[in-house]
Structure 1
Amino acid sequence: MFRLFAAWRHAPTHRRVWALAAPMILSNLSVPLVALVDSAVIGHLPHAHQLASVAVGGTLYTLLVWVMGFLRMGTTGFAAQASGRNDGGTLRQVLLQGLLLAFGFALLLSVVAQPLKGFALQLMQPSAELDDLAQLYLNTRLFGLPAALGSMALIGWFLGAQNGRAPLAILLTTNLFNVVLDLWFVLGLEWGVAGAARASVIAEWSGLAVGLALTRGALRQNPGRLDRQALGRWVNWKPLMAANRDIFIRSLALQLVFFLVTVQGTRLGDTTVAANALLLNGLLLTAHALDGLAHAIEALSGHAIGARNRLELRRVLTVAGGWSLLASLAFGLFFLFGGTLFIQMQTNIPDVREMAIAYLPYLAALPLVAVWSYLLDGLFIGATRAREMRNAMLLAVAIALPLGWLLQDLGNHGLWLAFLSFMLLRGLCLGAIARRLQRQRQWFEPPHASAVVHTPKGP
């Protein structure tokens, strides 16, 4: 306990955490604001199926993007450890590898999305109006997929390089463009659901352009030489690909849960899926804010592990963990006492408002339940221990799915109870594995199949 108190009192660690967390919180908060703006703009159109189509189409697009979360998370861990070793050559290698993977997977997913879209909508059994608009929205958003994945790789690399301002510039550019164009295309030009999708595509390409421009300055601050021949050897791809594979499986399992929540909500009716979408916007708001602190843990814990500094690692986890707990409590109180206004800002459809407000207590409980999984994800990513993170997620899903099936007779209440249980299980499973690694003193040992391959630093 004394060591934790001493770690919390270390002022330089507070400054380092907030130097990364503050810009990431600001930029992350702008991400759910896009969904909030889409919901608010489309939610003031006359029909519930218009709002529901953005929720369904947006969920399918998010599924494609978020299962590629390894492009950010894997890149952060390897870049952070390279930064801890002052290895500019490896930083350059990780940057180029991340971008090549992003554009390659964007091409692959654009092909996969078509059969996936048909299967998913058939499984949801939506109304004819909802089906048509959801397909239109998704097909348009796919034009922005290469930019979205490229930006993810850039954000992960900048974080690993201890640069929190560049991700802020990328995300703010993307999301501010989206807000302005959303209002113009939907309300000004009256393009409806298609206008919301077009705004997002233009915004995503704008954010990627800003990110690519900022890499030059970051590389100047981390001198080194890229070994171009190393990129042609599998041994230099294997560690990153192994970590990315495990993070992909983990992300796929997580997105499966969110997809099933949307599927079950859709089966309960257009009003239910629309109300749940408004509530999940609240979860996105919370998650992206708390992820700002989790991102700081990723970068700083990876840096500490790369430098093999145990004291630095303890200080980072203590400071970022303390602030995360305080922030999650603040969000819970906000949704408990201000949730009605939060829902009313998003839609004026009476049935959707009434249902969403009735389920606000579940949203208020989510931050305190979910915060632990966000924190521990950050630690595992910084340590490039993707396999253990994957195993924890699969175990949580394996326990939560039967629970959700047992609770389905409770309707939407059962759906939210199952979802809360899943978020709690995520933290418990990660915590158990983290405790085992701590007892065995393995945090500073290279994870299986994830040791970083060094490249020359150059003259």
Structure 2
Amino acid sequence: MNRVKNMTMGSPAKLIISFAVPLIIANLGQQMYMIVDTMIVGRGIGVEALAAVGATDWSYWLALWVIQALTQGFAISISQSFGEGSQVRIKKTVAMSIWLCLGIGIVMTVICLMAGRSLLLILQTPENIFESASAYLLTMYSGILVVMAYNMAAAVLRSFGDGKTPLIAIVIAAAANIVLDLLFVLVFRWGVTGAAVATVLAQLFAFLYCLSVLRKMELMKLVREDWRADRNIINRQCSLGLPLALQHILIAVGGMILQYAINQQGVVFIAGFTATNKIYGLLESSAISVGYAVTTYVAQNYGAGLYSRIRSGLKSSVLITGGLSVLVSCIMILGGRFVLKLFIDDASSSAAEVLDISYHYLFIMSCLLSTLYWLYAFRNTLQGLGKTFAPFVSGVMEFFARVSAAVFFTRFFGEKALFFAEPGAWMAALLVLIVVCIKSVRELPQTDRSDLR
């Protein structure tokens, strides 16, 4: 229980930062082992293998983001119940979330395995990398239940203010993934399939560690009554999780349309984008971590009726994300080319061209990174308040921005338009979120619930 953090007392900025730092390290660790995964594929197998993995990005993210959105949505009411101090409701909500994750995870696994190859065909994945891409994607889809289990366990821990356990879990997963990558890809010669198997097993180890911590918490000692279906709680969880899932489905579908446009540019262009997309996780990881901290902070204080602290928390989160974005941008602009070289086989005749494409894309995203970071500050504040419609609308805006870049602007600007698809999506979403978030926070009661007692 010493890892549980009550965020209804103390400095908002210090609480958000202290909670976010372990998550930042955890997310960076997760991104690093995914990067190592890609490095081993790119340098150990070749440019075509790198392109094959990259061609599956948006198809896999479609499933991954739905899982992350659902579990994050389910955790909102857990945080709010924690702020209220209602242990009975916490246990019941956790139990219903587990049932929902199990059912949704099974359905998603079946659908994704049936549709995986068709998705790659629709995206016109080049023939010379199609079979490798298909093998990688279907293996990743096979592990959906494992990914769902880890994300739900981590979301529950974060809702209690515990950012340390997910950090340790990712360290365990990272070490396992690297060892298994080297074994499966370079020793057993399983190709891209080996890389996918290593990633799924690493997530399993992360889940098992989180589970071992949860089982020791008094809050998680569930009894038979907790597991009985509660329609009101299930409806509440669905009302929080499903809009976020739909939002991410739209974002992913827009990305898949973008991937279709990228695939038309050939294997070298795909490989260039793949290298940068792997670093994109590093660009975004700090924003995601602060976003999780903001959601937990806002949800706990909303549950406790401490509305003045929510207003202070929003101001702090905007300043924190703005400062972080500048730091990350500088690091990537100065050191990005060196990092990108780690993904590319120097012996390849197209290595220089792939590197130029990758760095050009990375430079553009780095220059506009503050937009992405502020997006998380405003979006996660709304989610902590239990407002999921505006984030859904922001997902619609992201969808249209990406599709416009892929379908419309490429006709006038060619492949150059593809480099601005992501930053354009961030800007479109941010415009919606700023307006709605500020309005929602201003409409909160001016007097805290505790002052009325």
TM-score using structure 1 length:
0.88
Secondary structure, counterpart of 1:384 in structure 2 = coil
Give the structure 1 partner of residue 4 of structure 2.
Answer: none
CA gap 1:381/1:438 in 2 versus in 1, 3 angstroms: closer
Give the structure 2 partner of residue 454 of structure 1.
Answer: none
Contact between 2:92 and 2:226, CA under 8 Å: does it hold in 1?
A: no
CA gap 1:352/1:45 in 2 versus in 1, 3 angstroms: farther
Cα deviation 1:46-94 (Å, max 9, x = unaligned):
5322111112234422221212223321122111111111111222122
Give the structure 2 partner of residue 451 of structure 1.
Answer: none
Give the structure 2 partner of residue 425 of structure 1.
Answer: 428
C-alpha distance in structure 2 between counterparts of 1:444 and 1:180, whole Å: 55
Contact between 1:29 and 1:288, CA under 8 Å: does it hold in 2?
A: yes
C-alpha distance in structure 2 between counterparts of 1:399 and 1:444, whole Å: 40
Out of 335, 342, 345, the residue aligned to residue 342 of structure 2 is: 345
Quote the offset at 1:231 in angstroms: 3.5
C-alpha distance in structure 2 between counterparts of 1:324 and 1:247, whole Å: 21
C-alpha distance in structure 2 between counterparts of 1:333 and 1:322, whole Å: 17
C-alpha distance in structure 2 between counterparts of 1:399 and 1:206, whole Å: 37
Give the structure 1 partner of residue 437 of structure 2.
Answer: 434
Give the structure 1 partner of residue 30 of structure 2.
Answer: 31
With 392-401 and 87-96 compared, the bigger mean Cα shift is at 392-401
Secondary structure, counterpart of 1:441 in structure 2 = coil
C-alpha distance in structure 2 between counterparts of 1:315 and 1:226, whole Å: 38
Give the structure 2 partner of residue 288 of structure 1.
Answer: 285
Contact between 2:26 and 2:171, CA under 8 Å: does it hold in 1?
A: yes
Secondary structure, counterpart of 1:407 in structure 2 = helix
The aligned runs of 1:24-423 (5 Å cut-off) are: 24-45=23-44, 47-217=46-216, 219-220=217-218, 222=219, 228=225, 231-348=228-345, 349=348, 350=351, 351-398=353-400, 401-409=403-411, 410-423=413-426
Secondary structure, counterpart of 1:232 in structure 2 = coil
C-alpha distance in structure 2 between counterparts of 1:443 and 1:72, whole Å: 31
TM-score using structure 2 length:
0.89
Cα deviation 1:103-162 (Å, max 9, x = unaligned):
222211121113422322112222323110011112222332111011111111111111
Contact between 1:75 and 1:98, CA under 8 Å: does it hold in 2?
A: yes
Cα deviation 1:309-343 (Å, max 9, x = unaligned):
12221232222321211110011112222111121
Instruction: Name the aligned partner's letter for residue 225 of structure 2.
Output: R
Quote the offset at 1:387 in angstroms: 1.9
C-alpha distance in structure 1 between counterparts of 2:22 and 2:389, whole Å: 29
C-alpha distance in structure 2 between counterparts of 1:289 and 1:150, whole Å: 23
With 312-321 and 324-333 compared, the bigger mean Cα shift is at 312-321
Give the structure 2 partner of residue 17 of structure 1.
Answer: 16
Instruction: Name the aligned partner's letter for residue 129 of structure 2.
Output: L
Taking only the aligned residue pairs, the percentage that are identical comes to 17
Instruction: Name the aligned partner's letter for residue 296 of structure 1.
Output: A
Quote the offset at 1:183 in angstroms: 1.9
Contact between 2:405 and 2:421, CA under 8 Å: does it hold in 1?
A: yes
Cα deviation 1:200-239 (Å, max 9, x = unaligned):
121121111111111123x32x488768278423122111
C-alpha distance in structure 2 between counterparts of 1:211 and 1:229, whole Å: 20
Contact between 2:45 and 2:191, CA under 8 Å: does it hold in 1?
A: no
Secondary structure, counterpart of 1:68 in structure 2 = helix
C-alpha distance in structure 2 between counterparts of 1:290 and 1:254, whole Å: 17
Contact between 1:230 and 1:236, CA under 8 Å: does it hold in 2?
A: no
Gaps of 5+ in 2: 1-8, 449-453
Quote the offset at 1:260 in angstroms: 2.3
Q: CA RMSD in A?
A: 2.4
Cα deviation 1:396-427 (Å, max 9, x = unaligned):
43355335432113233101223211111111
Give the count of matched residue pairs: 434
Gaps of 5+ in 1: 1-9, 446-459
Contact between 2:97 and 2:237, CA under 8 Å: does it hold in 1?
A: no
